[in-house]
Structure 1
Amino acid sequence: MKRTLFTFITYILIGCWTLSAQGIDFQKLSLEEALAKASIEKKLVFIDFYTTWCAPCKTMTKLIFPLPEVGEVYNKEFVNIKLDAEKEGLKAAKKYNVQSYPTLLFLDSQGNVVFKETGLRPVNDFIELGKNAVSAHRSELSLQRLQEEFPKRQNDASFLKIYYTKMIEYGQSPIEGINAWLKVQKEIDEDDEDMMEFLFKYKNYIVAGSKGEAILQANFDEYMDIATKKEEDELERFKVQILQNTRDLAYQTQNPDLWLTFMEGFNKLPEKFKKRGNPVEYKMTYAALLKDDQTFKILTKKYIDSLISQKSITEITETDTKEYERRAKSLENSNSPEVTRILQAYKNGMGAGSIVEDIHQKAQAYLARVDSNSEYKDIENWIAYGDQLGASSYYMDNLRADMYYKRGKVKKAINYKKQALANWPDYDKKRDTRVYELSLMEGTQKIK
């Protein structure tokens, strides 16, 4: 009896030790369920936004999340969930502007962002991140409290400086805070070297129409006089940087007015800075942001038809063959797997493959807005052209699959999606998204 009791107690102690020694307990809950549970348990929610192709995500899952010291902090303070940002977590990823992986997001029980970080984190940093999220939530400088105070304190330079600094710490955009601070600050003269250095430091957060841009324009000649040679080059590129920031912000916020501001600024740039831009593509994006589907389709058709008419298939093939021969000769002594993969891409036709990929991307957006047989015919013609190019055939098969699926021909769609996947390169991160799309198609077929 004593031995039985001893054995029973031993099992209990071993079980308790095992529980306390576990890593993060990721619960199989939706975001809504996790928020509800966090409210009841007086905790925050921790979300690991990942994708199946993300190598740092896999490293975190394998080496960081299972550690007992990590679990000790995260299981105590958070309801922990994992969301695939391209599948079941797609909606939440869009809501919280998740654009890189892993994104480590901390929310309060109302769904407000408390803390946000991205990328692979060493164990001590990751533990500290969790502790900082808890501290931020409990402090007067939590993200939620700062955002609540921001509209009320537009004339408080001290607060605004804290605000934009904390936005950066919390992984949020400080653009509004920096702009507001520059409008009211008396700390630095606008024509002073310190202001030039401030603008350089925060150059990724200065957008068109902001106070920062106005200061740069008004004092540009003064800054050039006091700048080093390196700083002169940076000043020359600053206007391009501002437009890039404006473009990125407009796209992230889906703001057509801001996108129009970017387009107008782009048109005024010196020609040497406009080489990589494409005004037609910018107009397409503007139409999409305005939800002007008709204009978007007209511009897309014009773009793809122009792309097709630029060179004959023979010219494209001959150019690709010459480029492959040149590359093969220069790399003939290398046995690296990466070099082998690159050479194979050139052998398959790098230029042709680039055109096919571009057609695929633009035609997918066109397909989402198709509402007539003539428009379906456009897509069929583009696919036929892509087939003739003979490169990256999986793109055209994928486009066929999606076209047939939209037209209700599920069986054909599944066959072409499988055919696309059979040839889709394993290294391409988009492949997992195509696998997920196939599962949705197959689910539709079962329902029918």
Structure 2
Amino acid sequence: MMKKILLLLAVFATVLTNAQEINWVTLEEAVALQQKTPKKIMMDVYTSWCGPCKMLDKNTFQNKDVANYVNKHYYAVKFNAEGNDKVKYKGKTYSNPNYNPALANRRNSVHELSRYLRVSAYPTIVFLDEKGDLIAPITGYKKPKEIELFLKMFKNDDHKAMDTQEKFYTYSKAFKPEFEG
């Protein structure tokens, strides 16, 4: 009887945990979903060897406030910046012609799509608008309250009024985060 109760508790805990996960899709799926229901895209550009990328997954993307907000307002894409996937985007196919399978879990060549999206470090969170056009790449590890600023700024198109560094600074200083963590 006790084993059954423990099993039920484990299943229940798993269901609760999964309910707070981000619904990741491929870039092609996100762009197709935009045709039916326009939303912006948040793309996590990572590598398999990147420590801060793993921290972003564990500490930020598994945060319930972040996951709920992203799932509601964005299509979320996870993209390996040094992977070997072929990706169709904006009428072109991007690949990683210099990919070395022996280096799959170490530094590898950079994917063409990473270069196109102006990714220069890992992790980078790339934001795309409702038409799949680049808004901005945001470089570096972000805690939940730090990523909240960008999630809300881009979702509300507040970035369009920020044509200077000073305007962004003023906006960020006035921003009141609501996410836990």
Could you state the TM-score of these two structures normalised by the residue count of structure 2? 0.63
Pick closer, same or farther for the CA change 1:120–1:168 going to 2, 3 Å: same
Q: Pick one of 40, 43, 57 that aligns with 1:44.
A: 40
Residue in 1 aligned with 2:138? 117
Q: Pick one of 122, 134, 138 that aligns with 1:101.
A: 122
> Larger % of strand: which?
2
Is 1:74 aligned to 2:95, yes or no? no
Q: Is the 8 A contact 1:60 1:120 kept in 2?
A: yes
Secondary structure of 1:163's aligned partner: coil
1:107-136 deviation digits (Å, cap 9, x = unpaired): 013221223311111111122221111122
User: Distance between the aligned counterparts of 2:148 and 2:167, measured in 1?
Assistant: 20
Compute the displacement of 1:24 (Å).
1.6
Residue in 1 aligned with 2:165? 165
Q: Is the 8 A contact 1:23 1:69 kept in 2?
A: no
- Give the number of the structure with larger relative contact order, counting CA–CA contacts within 8 Å between residues 6 or more apart: 2
Q: Is the 8 A contact 2:118 2:137 kept in 1?
A: no
Secondary structure of 1:23's aligned partner: coil
User: Distance between the aligned counterparts of 2:166 and 2:32, measured in 1?
Assistant: 27
Secondary structure of 2:29's aligned partner: helix
User: Where do 4+ consecutive residues of structure 1 move more than 3 Å?
Assistant: 17-21, 166-169
User: Distance between the aligned counterparts of 1:166 and 1:83, measured in 2?
Assistant: 31
Q: Is the 8 A contact 2:30 2:41 kept in 1?
A: yes
Pick closer, same or farther for the CA change 1:33–1:163 going to 2, 3 Å: same
Q: Is the 8 A contact 2:119 2:137 kept in 1?
A: no
1:65-89 deviation digits (Å, cap 9, x = unpaired): 1121111100001111100011137
Compute the displacement of 1:99 (Å).
0.9
1:306-340 deviation digits (Å, cap 9, x = unpaired): xxxxxxxxxxxxxxxxxxxxxxxxxxxxxxxxxxx
Compute the displacement of 1:166 (Å).
7.7
Aligned positions of 1:283-302 closer than 5 A: none
User: Distance between the aligned counterparts of 1:91 and 1:33, measured in 2?
Assistant: 19
User: Distance between the aligned counterparts of 1:167 and 1:103, measured in 2?
Assistant: 22
User: Distance between the aligned counterparts of 2:29 and 2:166, measured in 1?
Assistant: 29
Pick closer, same or farther for the CA change 1:23–1:127 going to 2, 3 Å: farther
Residue in 2 aligned with 1:64? 60
1:23 aligned partner, one-letter code: E
Q: Is the 8 A contact 1:106 1:114 kept in 2?
A: yes
Secondary structure of 1:109's aligned partner: coil
Q: Is the 8 A contact 1:20 1:72 kept in 2?
A: no
Q: Percent identity?
A: 27
User: Distance between the aligned counterparts of 2:17 and 2:135, measured in 1?
Assistant: 28
Residue in 1 aligned with 2:155? 134
Number of paired residues? 132
Q: Is the 8 A contact 1:50 1:82 kept in 2?
A: yes
Aligned positions of 1:74-93 closer than 5 A: 74-87=70-83, 88=85, 90-93=111-114
Compute the displacement of 1:94 (Å).
1.4
User: Distance between the aligned counterparts of 1:167 and 1:83, measured in 2?
Assistant: 31
Q: Is the 8 A contact 1:24 1:67 kept in 2?
A: no
Q: Which has the greater radius of gyration?
A: 1
Secondary structure of 2:122's aligned partner: coil
Q: Is the 8 A contact 1:38 1:78 kept in 2?
A: no
> Larger % of helix: which?
1
1:175-222 deviation digits (Å, cap 9, x = unpaired): xxxxxxxxxxxxxxxxxxxxxxxxxxxxxxxxxxxxxxxxxxxxxxxx
Pick closer, same or farther for the CA change 1:167–1:54 going to 2, 3 Å: farther
Compute the displacement of 1:164 (Å).
3.8
Q: Is the 8 A contact 2:53 2:122 kept in 1?
A: yes
- In structure 1, list runs of 5 or more residues that go unmatched: 1-13, 147-161, 170-448
